[in-house]
């Protein structure tokens, strides 16, 4: 045996793969909790003896007193019957979090707050973090100790008497019973006891539980605690394909809900035949796996129902429970698609509609919903009271503008022909969440924080709270009782359909109905210069979103001075402008702007839900198909400059990328591929090993190419023409992994969009092209004709049906820099010898003859998919809104309504309001005013995508006759755009989901507390590398629906 020194051992502690720290031994208050349950403890008058005792009691005893609970709201001084005289200060809420990896629960408690505790001056009190105490389960061991309860407890709930907590233990296939009285007393009496489970006949039930839910049998307040837990507890057994109804007093299954292989549920007896999964074990048979439960007792209508989610079947199951808590009837709703359900929440019976606060029981249509976290990353909604069907939460609001019956919105049936189309790109009928986060858990609760004006933090009605994997808990409106339930024509901003429809993520925006009206000297005025709303006085300073969506400034046109004089920017297409009639002045306003006429602004932003909180949009002529930031901080459309192989043969050239990105990138035939080579300013950094960035001495463009260092003696000569060219090619065929390219001819950018008619026309337009660079008025312009020649002829690889002005030549010097003369035409890149491009090549992808629309959040939207052969084709099922290009010509529009979506883009005739130069007659000298307001009829290209509806006016320009911008040049269909010319704007005050509390590490559950508060269970490790200070592995976060901005963190 060889000796090993302690010194060496110390060395190896850090030698293993970056292990740089060791765990400090600590006792944690929380350790990866996954579920939470509640208890009510305090003074109670025994109804049998009349004595006052300190005891656990039914949750209703605290709930009735508690602020925030619906019961409290209806009777502000409520105290349980027979319990009069007991102060709130004598009552405590207990909260117990179950922690499977350590087999423990951690208990916290706080004094109950009710209205009697309210400070008159400050109003209703709310809990603070100091109000809660995290209990130490063993005072004799230093630190805060959790209470050991069993092996891998995965769920916890409270029995109906309120005296016992029960955990379902996946590690031992049983329940643990926690005596709440002993938790508080900390005496010598046992706190935790094992409750083995059996079938109805007494056989051991040793299946592994996945969920637990307790019935509420309305236990009387004032009764002594029973020795054993009472009531029916439902336990989900996924590998037994059943949910058992367990009598908590005996541990015996007294009934069950059994799932067939297809997910069909039936009510059965308690004689379950389950595989043993603890101790000796049996093989598991595949089948439907129920894994989530929720029970809601609705005192208003006297029902109690159980919802069940099956993890691997597209169905939600609702069981109506009898007064005994046993299952009575079962119903199911099929969900769309091949999904499973990983969590469920059941609502109370809701009276839909109303805008004056919680209105259950008032006139209106009642409904009840199951919200189900589905495996496709959405939350599905099913109406289970009347319709028993899945609801489509993704109906495009464009189709609902004229619907005035709010009942039609309660549950728009999935698959019903009467249900309008979904939003473009919707994955399913379910509620979708922005970004890559997936929903983890859902809870539903009611709140009654009435507000006359809609405010995002004022919750009145019924809401779902969805915890997402990225740490946020998002609020979903089920029935917002502070706001109208249909679009109100007189107040369309405040009642935008995405804000009022059921089953929509709640909006965070304040003062959504803000307009550019203001009051001055008792007179209402309109400020057409306003770019954003003035925040109303009641909007908190912390508000991130105020008013409706709008551009934060006028759209800007960006262009190259080498292609267009700055004095002639008017010749470029522009965003359509409307007239804002202001109090002081009437001015043209772009349709994107805050001060655009209301109907215009509403039409520009047809679905506020689709808009991000803030997004930059750019429309770039022949732009790149990706705007991902070059610093790598964004990954929407792939790199702007990619890397692939070039395959040369058969007279053609192809770009091959084994990662098959081309259909995803949205490449279309005629698009432009540029082989980028390398930037000599960066040395060899962009080249592979053994290569160097070589710039040919004959090159007139500053682009190098990566060539093997050992072939620099031969390749520069062999590849000369390739190396000195722009290396720009036209796509003729697009497969997911291969683009077939052809040489691209140099063309005149002012070629009419409807095609040229003669060589002479091309030569004339070449002069016009040159004149566009001159700042002079035409009358003063002495620009010489360019020394380039053009022929009007077809271009097979660009616009086969139209003649184009193609640059012609007899030698290279008759072509532009970087282009070469081949067969009488100037071309932008040649097919080289294979050796010239044998290594990896950097390349980019650009659209041809169109503006590329790219949003900083949306990316480049397009309808292309790969067919079975890998060819990039338009998805026949794609929404017509999935469009990312704006050409200069388009088919005529077929209507003006919000649902007239095809063709898209389309061409329309439209009135454009603008300021034009006001010249003195017969001169190009401006008048004193300088400009004049005109309305002219012009041609526009209407473009619609899921977020925007815009019209770009003047895709072509007629030219000027005498003075700049006199538009009297008489040219027809002549464009002025050039590569990389763009129109850009930023949309602000878009949609921002309303969240509860702040972001946490990793939510594992969200639970509705008896007092209406929402508890988010954070199983995550917030400080995984911090071993010295706070050592937190999980926490509980309590958020009150009355104050969703604040949160109490128990750590």
Partner 1 sequence: MTVRPVTQATPAGSRRSKLAAMDLVRSSRWSSRWALLAAGVVACTASESEVRPDPDRIFYPTAVTVAPDDSVAFVVSANSDLTYDSGTVQVVDLAVVEQVVAAWKSNRTVPAGCSVPTDATETLACPEADFLIDGAGVRIGNFASAVTTQDLGGGKLRLLVPVRGDPSITWMDWDPATRALACSTGQGFPLCDDEHRLVELTGFDDPPGLPSEPYGVFADSLGQFAVVSHFANGIISLIDSPAAGVPSLVDARSIGLSVGMSGIAGRKAGADDLLYAQSVDTDRVFLFTVARPAGRQPSLVSGGFFFQNAVGSGSDSGGTADDSRGIVFRDGGDRAFFVNRMPPALQEYDTSLGPTGVPVNRVIASTDICRQATSVTAAETGAGERAYVTCYGDGQVYVVDPRAGGAVAATTLTGRGPIASAAVPSRGLLLVANFLDDSLAVVDIDPTSPVAYRVVLRLGGNS
- How many residues touch partner 1 under the rule CB under 8 A: the total is 102
What CA–CA distance (Å, rounded) separates 338 from 486? 32
Closest contact distance (angstroms) between CB of 438 and partner 1 is: 6
3-state secondary structure of 879: coil
Closest approach of Cβ 1048 to partner 1, in Å?
16
Strand partners, 987: 551, 615
Containing 8, the helix (H) or strand (E) segment is: helix 6-12
Which lies closer to partner 1 via its Cβ, residue 883 or residue 963?
Answer: 883
**What is the nearest approach in angstroms of partner 1 to the Cβ of residue 455?**
22
User: Backbone phi, then psi, for 836, in 5-degree steps?
Assistant: -75, -20
CB proximity list for 1029: less than 8 A, separation 6 or greater = 1023
Shortest distance (Å) from residue 713 CB to partner 1: 14
CB of 342 vs partner 1, minimal distance in Å: 4
Nearer to partner 1, 541 or 937 (CB): 541
Mark 30-49 with x for binding to partner 1 (rule: CB under 8 A) and - for no binding: --x-x---------------
Give which of 776, 811, 813, 806 is closest to 792, Cα–Cα.
806
Determine contact, residues 162/222, Cβ cutoff 8 Å: no
Q: Is 866 in the site for partner 1 (CB under 8 A)?
A: yes
Among 227, 322, 529, 635, binds partner 1 (CB under 8 A): 635
How near is the Cβ of 156 to partner 1 at its closest, in Å?
Answer: 15
Quick one: DSSP state of residue 717? H
By CB under 8 A, which span of 278-286, 320-328, 359-367, 1040-1048 interacts with partner 1? 278-286
Q: What are phi and psi of 665, to 5 degrees?
A: -80, -15
Q: Among residues 36, 43, 246, 373, which is the contact residue for partner 1, using CB under 8 A?
A: 373
Give yes or no for a contact between 147 and 156, defined as CB atoms under 8 angstroms apart: no
User: CA angle, corner 221, sides to 220 and 222, nearest 5?
Assistant: 110
Sign of the four-CA dihedral 944, 950, 951, 957: negative
The site string for partner 1 over 58-77 (x = CB under 8 A, - otherwise) reads --------------------
Judged by CB under 8 A, the residue of 145, 1022, 1040, 1051 near partner 1 is: 1022
Give me the residue label for tokens 């463009």: 701
Contact call for residue 1002 and partner 1 (CB under 8 A): yes
Q: By CB under 8 A, is residue 57 in contact with partner 1? A: no
Identify the residue whose tokens are 């020194």. 5
Among 128, 435, 775, 824, binds partner 1 (CB under 8 A): 435
Residue closer to partner 1 (CB basis): 860 or 952 = 860
Instruction: Report helix, strand or coil for 663.
Output: helix
The distance of closest approach from Cβ of residue 1003 to partner 1 in the complex, given in angstroms and rounded to an integer, is 7
- Told to check if 238 binds partner 1 by CB under 8 A, we report yes
Residue of 328, 413, 791, 865 that binds partner 1 (CB under 8 A): 865
Is 470 a binder of partner 1 (CB under 8 A)? yes
C-alpha–C-alpha distance, residues 537 and 529, integer Å = 21
Quick one: how far is CA 114 from the chain centroid?
38
What is the DSSP annotation of 431-463?
A: B--SSS--EEEEEEEEEE---SS--TT--EEEE
Distance of closest approach, residue 662 Cβ to partner 1, in angstroms: 8
Torsions phi, psi for 891 (to 5 deg)? -65, 155
C-beta of 591 vs 628, nearer to partner 1 = 628
In the chain, the largest separation of any two C-alpha atoms, in whole Å, equals 114
- Is 833 within 8 Å of 715 (Cβ atoms)? no
Token reading at 179: 């005596």
Report d(CA 823, CA 807) in Å as an integer: 11
Task: Tell which one of 220, 421, 870, 1046 touches partner 1 (CB under 8 A).
Answer: 870
H or E element in which residue 293 lies: strand 290-298
Q: Does 838 bind partner 1 (CB under 8 A)?
A: yes
Residue selected from 282, 491, 567, 780 as contacting partner 1 according to rule CB under 8 A: 282
Q: Using the rule CB under 8 A, which residue among 884, 905, 1019, 1044 binds partner 1?
A: 1019
Burial class (CB in 10 A: 0-12, 13-18, 19+), 565: middle
DSSP class per residue in 487-537: --TTSTTTT-HHHHSTTEEPB--B-TT--SEEEETTEEEE-TT-SSPPPPT
Helix (H) / strand (E) containing 664? helix 662-665
| Residue from the set 319, 440, 466, 551 that interacts with partner 1 by CB under 8 A | 440
Q: Which of 131, 336, 776, 998 binds partner 1 (CB under 8 A)?
A: 998
Considering only the stretches 61-69, 402-410, 984-992, 1016-1024, report the one whose residues sit in contact with partner 1 under the rule CB under 8 A: 1016-1024
- Looking at the Cβ atoms of 584 and 710, the one nearer to partner 1 is 710
Q: Which stretch binds partner 1 (CB under 8 A): 70-78, 767-775, 952-960, 1001-1009?
A: 1001-1009
DSSP three-state, residue 272: coil
Tell which positions 718-757 bind partner 1, by CB under 8 A. 736-737
| Residue 274 Cβ vs partner 1, minimum distance, rounded to whole Å | 13
* DSSP codes joined into one string, 222-245: TPPPPSS--SEEEEEEGGGTEEEE
Choices 192-200, 274-282, 696-704, 974-982; region in contact with partner 1 by CB under 8 A: 274-282
Residue among 363, 811, 1025, 1029 that touches partner 1 (CB under 8 A): 1025
Instruction: Find residue 140's DSSP bridge partners.
Output: none
Contact positions with partner 1 (CB under 8 A) in 374-403: 375, 377
What contacts 650, CB < 8 A, 6 or more positions away? none
Asked if residue 840 binds partner 1 (CB under 8 A), the reply is: yes
Q: Which of 403, 515, 657, 918 touches partner 1 (CB under 8 A)?
A: 657
Give me 27's structure tokens: 């006792």
In the complex, minimum distance from the CB of residue 95 to partner 1, in angstroms, rounded to a whole number: 20
Site string for partner 1, 594-633 (x = CB under 8 A): --------------------------------------x-
The only residue of 87, 645, 732, 791 in contact with partner 1, by rule CB under 8 A: 645
Q: Which is nearer to partner 1, 491 or 710 (CB)?
A: 710
How far apart are the C-alpha atoms of 344 and 291, rounded to whole Å? 9
Chain residues 131-190 in contact with partner 1, contact rule CB under 8 A: 152, 154, 170-171
Q: Which is nearer to partner 1, 440 or 1013 (CB)?
A: 440
CB of 865 to partner 1, least distance (A): 4
* Contact pattern for partner 1 over residues 185 through 224, marking x by CB under 8 A: -------------------------x--------------
Residue 656 binds partner 1, judged by CB under 8 A: yes
> Considering the complex, what minimum distance in angstroms separates the CB of residue 886 from partner 1?
22
Pick out residues in 692-721 that bind partner 1 (CB under 8 A): 710
Is residue 95 within 8 A of residue 118, CB to CB? The reply is no
Out of 58, 150, 778, 1003, which residue is the one contacting partner 1 (CB under 8 A)? Answer: 1003
Which three-class secondary structure string do you get for 15-82?
Answer: CCCCCCCCCCCCCCCCECCCEEEEEEEEEEECCCCCCEEEEEECHHHHHHHECCCHHHHHCCCCCCCC
659 in contact with partner 1 (CB under 8 A): yes
326-365 residues near partner 1, rule: CB under 8 A: 340, 342-343
What's the token pair of residue 441? 């858990």
Smallest distance, partner 1 to C-beta of residue 338, A: 13
Which residue of 27, 47, 54, 101 would you call a contact of partner 1, by CB under 8 A? 101
């Amino acid at each position: 045996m060889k000796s090993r020194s302690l010194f060496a051992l110390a060395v190896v502690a850090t030698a293993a793969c970056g292990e740089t720290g060791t765990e400090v031994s600590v006792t944690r208050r929380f350790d990866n909790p996954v579920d939470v349950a509640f208890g009510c403890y305090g003074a109670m008058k025994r109804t049998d003896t009349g004595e006052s005792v300190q005891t656990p009691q039914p949750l209703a005893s605290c709930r009735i007193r508690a602020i925030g609970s619906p019961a409290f709201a209806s009777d502000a001084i409520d105290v349980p019957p027979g319990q009069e005289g007991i102060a709130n200060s004598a009552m405590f809420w207990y909260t117990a979090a179950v922690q499977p990896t350590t087999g423990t629960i951690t208990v916290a408690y706080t004094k109950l707050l009710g209205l009697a505790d309210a400070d008159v001056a400050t109003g209703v009190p709310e809990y603070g973090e100091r109000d809660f105490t995290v209990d130490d389960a063993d005072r004799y061991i230093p630190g805060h100790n959790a209470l050991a309860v069993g092996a891998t407890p995965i769920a916890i709930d409270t029995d109906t008497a309120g005296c016992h907590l029960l955990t379902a233990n996946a590690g031992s296939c049983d329940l643990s019973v926690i005596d709440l009285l002993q938790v508080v007393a900390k005496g010598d009496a046992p706190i935790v006891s094992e409750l083995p489970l059996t079938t109805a006949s007494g056989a051991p039930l040793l299946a592994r539980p996945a969920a637990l839910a307790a019935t509420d049998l309305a236990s009387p307040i004032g009764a002594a605690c029973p020795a054993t837990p009472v009531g029916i507890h439902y336990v989900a057994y996924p590998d037994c394909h059943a949910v058992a109804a367990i009598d908590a007093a005996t541990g015996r299954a007294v009934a069950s809900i059994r799932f067939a292989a297809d997910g069909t549920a039936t009510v059965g007896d308690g004689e379950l035949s389950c595989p043993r999964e603890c101790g000796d074990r049996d093989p598991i048979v595949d089948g439907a796996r129920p894994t989530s439960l929720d029970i809601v007792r609705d005192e208003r209508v006297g029902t109690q129902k159980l919802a069940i989610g099956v993890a691997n079947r597209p169905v939600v199951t609702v069981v109506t429970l009898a007064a005994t808590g046993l299952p009575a009837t079962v119903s199911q709703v099929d969900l769309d698609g091949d999904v499973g359900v990983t969590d469920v929440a059941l609502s109370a019976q809701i009276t839909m509609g109303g805008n004056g606060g919680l209105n259950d029981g008032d006139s209106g249509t009642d409904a009840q919903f199951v919200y189900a976290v589905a495996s496709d990353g959405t939350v599905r909604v099913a109406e289970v009271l009347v319709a028993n069907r899945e609801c489509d939460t993704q109906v495009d609001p464009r189709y609902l503008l004229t619907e005035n019956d709010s009942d039609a919105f309660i549950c728009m049936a999935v698959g019903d022909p009467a249900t309008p189309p979904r939003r473009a790109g919707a994955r399913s009928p379910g509620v979708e969440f922005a970004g890559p986060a997936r929903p983890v858990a859902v809870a539903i609760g009611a709140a009654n924080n009435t507000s006359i004006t809609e405010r995002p933090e004022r919750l009145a009605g019924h809401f779902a709270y969805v915890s997402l994997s990225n740490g946020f808990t998002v609020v979903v409106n089920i029935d917002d009782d502070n706001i109208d339930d249909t679009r109100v024509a007189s107040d369309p901003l405040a009642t935008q359909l995405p804000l009022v429809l059921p089953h929509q993520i709640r909006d965070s925006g304040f003062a959504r109905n803000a307009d550019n009206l203001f009051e001055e000297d008792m007179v209402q005025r309109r400020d057409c210069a306003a770019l954003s709303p003035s925040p109303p006085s009641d909007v908190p300073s912390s508000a991130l979103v105020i008013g409706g969506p709008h551009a934060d400034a006028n759209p800007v046109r960006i262009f190259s001075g080498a292609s267009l004089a700055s004095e002639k920017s008017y010749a470029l297409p522009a965003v359509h402008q409307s007239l804002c009639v202001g109090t002081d002045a009437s001015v043209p306003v772009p349709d994107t702007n805050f001060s655009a006429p209301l109907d215009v602004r509403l039409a520009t932003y047809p679905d506020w839900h689709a808009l991000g909180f803030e997004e930059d949009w750019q429309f770039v002529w022949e732009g790149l198909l990706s705007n991902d930031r070059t610093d790598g901080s964004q990954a929407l459309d792939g790199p702007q400059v990619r890397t692939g192989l070039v395959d040369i043969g058969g007279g053609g050239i192809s770009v091959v990328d084994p990662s098959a990105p081309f259909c995803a990138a949205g490449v279309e035939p005629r698009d432009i591929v540029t082989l980028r080579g390398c930037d000599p300013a960066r040395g060899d950094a962009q080249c592979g090993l053994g290569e160097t960035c070589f710039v040919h001495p004959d090159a007139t463009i500053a682009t190098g190419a990566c060539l093997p260092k050992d072939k620099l003696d031969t390749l520069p000569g062999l590849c000369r023409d390739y190396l000195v060219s722009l290396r720009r090619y036209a796509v003729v065929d697009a497969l997911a992994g291969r683009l077939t390219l052809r040489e691209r001819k140099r063309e005149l950018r002012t070629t009419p969009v409807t095609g040229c008619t003669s060589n002479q026309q091309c030569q004339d337009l070449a002069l016009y092209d040159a004149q566009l660079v001159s700042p002079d008025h035409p009358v003063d312009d002495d620009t010489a004709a360019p020394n380039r020649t053009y022929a009007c002829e077809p271009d097979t690889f660009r616009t086969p049906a139209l003649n184009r002005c193609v640059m012609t030549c007899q030698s290279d010097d008759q072509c532009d820099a970087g282009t070469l003369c081949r067969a009488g035409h100037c071309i932008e890149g040649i097919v080289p010898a294979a050796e010239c491009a044998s290594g990896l090549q950097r390349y980019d992808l650009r659209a041809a003859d169109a503006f590329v629309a790219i949003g900083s959040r949306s990316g480049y939207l397009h309808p292309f998919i790969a067919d079975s052969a890998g060819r990039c084709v338009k998805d026949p099922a794609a929404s017509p809104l999935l469009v990312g290009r704006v050409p200069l010509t388009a088919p005529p529009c077929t209507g003006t309504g919000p649902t007239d979506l095809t063709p898209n883009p389309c061409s329309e005739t439209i009135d454009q309001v603008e300021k034009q130069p006001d010249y003195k007659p017969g001169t190009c000298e401006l008048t004193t005013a300088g400009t004049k307001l005109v309305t002219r009829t012009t041609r526009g290209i209407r473009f619609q995508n899921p977020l925007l509806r815009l019209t770009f006016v003047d895709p072509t320009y007629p030219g000027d006759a005498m003075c700049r911008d006199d538009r009297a040049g008489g040219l027809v269909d002549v464009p002025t755009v050039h590569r990389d010319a763009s129109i850009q704007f930023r949309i602000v005050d878009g949609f921002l989901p309303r969240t509860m509390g702040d972001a946490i590490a990793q939510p594992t559950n969200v639970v509705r507390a008896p007092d209406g508060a929402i508890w988010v269970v954070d199983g995550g490790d917030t400080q995984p590398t911090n071993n010295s200070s706070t050592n937190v592995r999980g926490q509980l976060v309590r958020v009150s629906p009355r104050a969703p901005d604040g949160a109490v963190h128990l750590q």
